[in-house]
Amino acid sequence: MYFAFKLVSKMNTTWMLARVDTDHFSERFCASCKEMEFNCIDDILKIPPTDLIGKKGFSYHWLRELIEFLKAKKALHLLQQLPGSTGDQ
């Protein structure tokens, strides 16, 4: 946990708490987020990747859009499961 906190604390992370909206994402992405009950990127990043895939509303098109957004923010590493985490939280 400390390792993840240290990585995030060095970044400007205000964008993580902004609402998912069509200013930054496609309507399809926003609709999927609503179906999966995600309001902001931080909500998404709290879920282990293995659990994301199983959520109703998930698609690989949605994931690709999320990955492209995180790449642009130089934050793709935040989507990866932390070492030692089993996703059983």
Q: Mean pLDDT, 10 residues at a time, over the chain (89 residues)?
A: 44 84 94 97 92 95 96 91 54
3 CB burial (10 A radius; 0-12, 13-18, 19+): exposed
pLDDT of res. 10: 53
| Rounded distance between C-alpha atoms, residue 6 and residue 10, angstroms | 7
